A = this chain, B = another copy of it.
Amino acid sequence: MTRFVKFIGGFAVAAALVLPMTAQADDKDVIDYRENVMKTLEAQTASLGMIASTQVPPDNLVQHTEAIALMAKAAKKSFEAKVLGGEAKPEVWANNADFTKKMDDFVAKTDILAKSAKTGGVPVVMEQMVDALTCKGCHDVYRNKK
């Protein structure tokens, strides 16, 4: 029996290593996941805001702008599955062409911002960040804040 349990245990581990490729996410999982991505964007833009307002030194300017660019891509991907709920309004999928356009814009501009941080540092990021962080434009239309 022990051996059988060990075998099953081993199989479960092996399966876990393969299954993610084809995993079907429950609705709640999809929503939790989206919220983790958004929480990251919130914490990262807050960090950038603290640099902008000179509350903290800009030591990690590059890291924050890169993390924002990465999570912009993840955010876009995380709304591809039509899973209503959480803070997302149904309009995300009803007006999906506009939503996707806004997300593409966010992805493109944060990508440029991350590159600017590396080449131009603080002054260029300060110049571009308000235009790049298009959060409000999307939230005003597509988010029901809890």
Q: Please, what's the 1-or-0 string for A115-127, where 1 marks a CB less than 8 Å from any CB in chain B?
A: 0000000110011
- State whether A50 touches B74 (Cβ < 8 A): no
What CA separation (Å) do A28 and B103 show in the bound complex?
Answer: 34
What CA separation (Å) do A122 and B50 show in the bound complex?
Answer: 35
On chain B, the residues within 8 Å of A46 by CB distance are 36
What CA separation (Å) do A52 and B23 show in the bound complex?
Answer: 10
The complex is assembled from copies of this chain, and their number is 2
A44 is an interface residue with CB less than 8 A from chain B: yes
> A21-B58, A23-B55, A74-B60 known; A43 and B50 CB under 8 Å?
no
A21: min CB distance to chain B, Å? 7
Chain A interface residues (CB < 8 Å from chain B)? 16-23, 25-26, 29-30, 32-33, 36-37, 39-40, 43-44, 46-47, 50-60, 63-64, 66-67, 70-71, 73-74, 77-78, 122-123, 126-127
